[in-house]
């Protein structure tokens, strides 16, 4: 039987944590433990977490050391083969763990599994598409081109614990981009499987969120993107640009071929970005 350890780092999320915990407890797949790591909260977040009576819940108190340290601590105390993460202000839909189970059972070569997420500022629809990710950076570019979101986020990933340990977990020295850093190190060693079924609501409007100040900018970007999408080849150019960007030092020959075949798309994409920036002003 597939067993999950769900790790929730908790820091001053009194307004959100109750709904987040309920979204885990209400999963259609019930074989999991829930580890909540209180990262030195100064509000009553921990008291709210303690109010839940469920033998699957483990509460851990630590001094404030940042989200990466809290997640790593949760993994250190986990008992199950697969670990997952959920921020204390995001919400799982009830199909999240069951979708991971499907991927684990049907993509035997993979050890890292990711589903899709939607945003409070943009409704991203599920797609019944599941596949191996053969090139993480390329697939990330495709995902950004299609709906302006990353191919995965921390709340919709399941990792075999031994794989997480083998790359030493989250880098506690990083204050931003610690998740992308981990995905990159995992992608260098392990196979990813992806489902485009939406299982997470990523709440950009939650309290005390590190990127809450970016909410207005993201909303404005979505609005500007609606203008940019009307320009021909924008999405194609974006894919090619990121493919070029991430391979310029790894494979210069390949990048020269990209410029030769798709230079016009890349140029139009960059021109569109410049145009959108001017509109912003």
**271 in Cβ contact with 232 (< 8 Å):** no
| DSSP-based three-state secondary structure for 89 | coil
The CATH code of domain 4-208 reads 3.90.550.10
Q: CA-CA distance, 123 to 187, in Å (whole number)?
A: 28
| DSSP annotation of 226 | H
Structure tokens at 12: 């001053």
Helix (H) or strand (E) holding 103: helix 96-106
Position 227 scores a pLDDT of 42
Position 223 scores a pLDDT of 41
Q: CA-CA distance, 126 to 131, in Å (whole number)?
A: 14
Helix (H) or strand (E) holding 180: helix 178-189
Position 220 scores a pLDDT of 45
Q: Rounded to the nearest 10 degrees, what angle do helices 252-280 and 234-247 cross at?
A: 130
Cα 37–Cα 218–Cα 100 angle in degrees, nearest 5: 45
Q: CA-CA distance, 114 to 125, in Å (whole number)?
A: 16
**75 in Cβ contact with 169 (< 8 Å):** yes
195 Cβ neighbours under 8 A, 6+ residues apart = 99, 102, 103, 113, 114, 115, 116, 129, 130
Neighbours of 21 (CB within 10 A): 23
pTM of the shown model: 0.75
Cα 22–Cα 27–Cα 28 angle in degrees, nearest 5: 150
Query: Tens digit of pLDDT per residue, the chain (281 long)?
Result: 999 999 999 999 999 999 999 999 999 999 999 999 999 999 999 999 999 999 999 999 999 999 999 999 999 999 999 999 999 999 999 999 999 999 999 999 999 999 999 887 667 888 899 999 988 877 776 776 666 677 888 999 999 999 999 999 999 998 777 888 899 899 999 999 999 999 999 987 666 655 444 444 444 444 444 444 444 456 667 777 877 887 888 788 878 877 877 787 778 778 777 776 665 54
Q: CA-CA distance, 23 to 91, in Å (whole number)?
A: 6
Q: 63-91 pLDDT, tens per residue?
A: 999 999 999 999 999 999 999 999 999 99
Domains in the chain: boundaries: 4-208, 229-280
Distance from CA of residue 35 to its chain's centroid? 19
Position 59 scores a pLDDT of 97
């Amino acid at each position: 039987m597939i067993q999950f350890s769900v790790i929730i780092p908790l820091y001053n999320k009194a307004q959100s944590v109750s709904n987040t915990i309920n979204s885990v407890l209400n999963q259609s797949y019930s074989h999991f433990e829930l580890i909540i790591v209180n990262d030195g909260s100064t509000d009553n977040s921990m008291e709210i977490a303690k109010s839940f009576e469920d033998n699957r819940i483990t509460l851990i108190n630590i001094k404030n050391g940042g989200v990466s340290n809290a997640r790593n601590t949760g993994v250190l105390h986990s008992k199950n083969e697969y670990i997952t993460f959920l921020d204390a202000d995001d919400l799982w839909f009830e199909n999240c763990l069951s979708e991971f189970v499907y991927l684990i059972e049907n993509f035997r070569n993979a050890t890292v599994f990711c589903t899709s997420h939607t945003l409070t500022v943009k409704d991203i629809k599920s797609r019944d598409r599941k596949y191996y990710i053969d090139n993480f950076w390329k697939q990330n570019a495709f995902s950004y081109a299609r709906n302006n979101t990353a191919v995965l986020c921390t709340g919709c990933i399941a990792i075999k614990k031994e794989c997480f340990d083998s790359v030493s977990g989250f880098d506690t020295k990083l204050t931003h981009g610690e998740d992308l850093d981990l995905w990159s190190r995992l992608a260098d060693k392990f196979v990813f499987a992806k489902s485009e079924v939406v299982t997470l609501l990523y709440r950009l409007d939650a309290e005390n969120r590190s990127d809450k100040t970016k909410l207005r900018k993201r909303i404005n970007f979505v609005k500007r993107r609606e203008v940019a999408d009307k320009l021909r080849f924008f999405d194609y150019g974006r894919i090619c640009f990121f493919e070029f960007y991430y391979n310029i030092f790894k494979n210069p020959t390949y990048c020269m071929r990209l410029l030769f075949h798709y230079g016009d798309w890349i140029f139009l994409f960059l021109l569109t970005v410049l145009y959108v920036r001017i509109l912003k002003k």
